[in-house]
Amino acid sequence: MLLIGVCGASGSGKSTLSEELKTSIGSGCIIINHDSYYRDFPDLSFAERARQNYDEPGIFDHDLFLSDITTLLSGKPITRKDYDYTVHRRADHDDEWINPTDVCIIEGIHVFHDPRLCELMFLKLYISVEADICLLRRIERDIKERNRSIDSIAAQYLTTVKPMYIKYVRNYIELADVIVARGGRNARIVDILTGYVRDALNPS
């Protein structure tokens, strides 16, 4: 199984590029979102959970994520992990299984943070998009998909999203094998990457 990491700022188009690649590669490809591996805080109130910094690396269960990816790479299935943004709680599906495939795409703002995971990646992609475009995309997504208000989006962006981008996320570009411009809907780069992956899967 080939492991592909897709990293970049919030709203840069990571999910879009991952889906475009998955469609282009075909049925032998799965996507796992790093956000599904946020740490759970069941003992905290909703207000306390909402105040957590969901943009810093320590909020993720990196050990569990690495364990699941290593399990897939070894040819064994894992249970599906998930996260409910409306209540800030893990929402795992212990009765659903993810089976190993030819290609696994993992995507998230801190997917390059763990060097142990980076060592397992066949290809590391970083999406480089201007910050104002990312912010507009984030506003649209959070309103439509996560039932957030403009005030809460703005507060989170200023207090955690932007500072963590400056401190961590923008520096991940140095770890990338390929820098993708213009966001996830870059048909030419998708075609190039798909060809590269297929060549690796079926060497002549």
Predicted local confidence at residue 145, as pLDDT: 78
Tally of domains within the chain:
1
* Region 33-51 average pLDDT: 94
pLDDT tens-place string over residues 122-137: 999 999 988 778 778 8
* This prediction's pTM: 0.91
**CATH classification of the domain holding 189:** 3.40.50.300
CA distances from 78 to 21, 85, 160, 185 (A): 22, 22, 31, 30
The chain-wide mean pLDDT, for the chain, equals 92
pLDDT on residue 181? 86
Phi and psi, residue 186, nearest 5°:
-115, 90
**Domain assignment of residue 21, given as a range:** 2-201
Cα separation values, 147 from 84, 85, 141, 143, Å: 12, 9, 9, 5
Q: How far apart are CA 35 and CA 43, in angstroms?
A: 20
